[in-house]
Amino acid sequence: MLFRSAELGLAKIFTDLVLSGSTANKLSISMIIFFVLLSLMARLSHYFQRTQRISFLSQSISATNLRYKENSWNHSLAIEIINIFTHILQVLVVLLFLGSLSIAMGLITLSGFIVVLWFQGNLYVNQEDFQRELVRAKYKSRLIPVETRLLTRIRSGEIGVLFSGFISILLLVILVLIYSHGLISAANSIITFFGIRLIGTNLNSLSSSTMRFARALVNSSVSTFKVTESSSNIENLMG
């Protein structure tokens, strides 16, 4: 999250310098150095967070009162929760940054973000219902092909990706219109372009994460789905 905002800040400085046609002064150089160091620190923290989270989650789950602590779906559920919150927080940080460049464009982008969340939320509800049906089928010895199980989840995630892509394109068209009417500077419009692309990337990942979250939730030990109460201690993550 910090890494993304630092990248945009660094891009903002370079864009201002290039478009203004002026040479970098001491203040600009110090700001560039600051953002470069911030980006490196954020990247390192991101690396350690990604590599150490499994051990942290395992210890946290072991300390709970869950009935089946060794159910591997618990770990999958915890990972997807982290992923979902990370993507949303990254989008919010970028939205704040874009709002500081142009209030109008920031509000429009926020509206697009809310629409995408609503659409992906509907996809999630349908996917959770489908995952429950898969569990029912397993305990009723009803065979559902692996292709159907995987394709349905992946298709739902990709539909969410397509929709967020459509909203991103629409936002870019609006950005061009706002710039053509002189409501945003050239430098800020370039940064906003990259910001919208960054938000789109996070929304794409969010769509896939929510579909995996639905699968993990239904199969995890925290599920309230009654038919899973007799499930084995360790579930197969490839199911």
Long-range contacts of the stretch 17-22 (C-beta < 8 A, 24+): 19/186, 19/187
Q: How far, in whole angstroms, is CA 3 from its chain's centroid?
A: 14
Could you tell me the two tokens for 202?
A: 């996070």
Per-residue confidence (pLDDT) for residue 42, from 0 to 100: 61
User: Percent of the chain, pLDDT > 90?
Assistant: 28
Q: How far apart are CA 61 and CA 94, in angstroms?
A: 32
Please state, in angstroms and as integers, the Cα–Cα distance from residue 15 to each residue in 172, 184, 185, following that order. 18, 14, 11
Q: Which amino acid is at 188?
A: N
Neighbouring residues of 96: CB distance < 8 A, sequence distance ≥ 6: 106
pTM of the model: 0.72
**Lowest-confidence pick of 90-94, 131-135, 152-156, 220-224:** 220-224
Per-residue confidence (pLDDT) for residue 239, from 0 to 100: 38
Per-residue confidence (pLDDT) for residue 225, from 0 to 100: 59
**Lowest-confidence pick of 41-55, 121-135, 138-152, 167-181:** 41-55
pLDDT per residue over 73-115, tens digit each? 777 787 888 889 889 988 998 899 899 889 999 999 999 999 9
pLDDT per residue over 11-37, tens digit each? 666 566 556 555 545 445 665 666 667
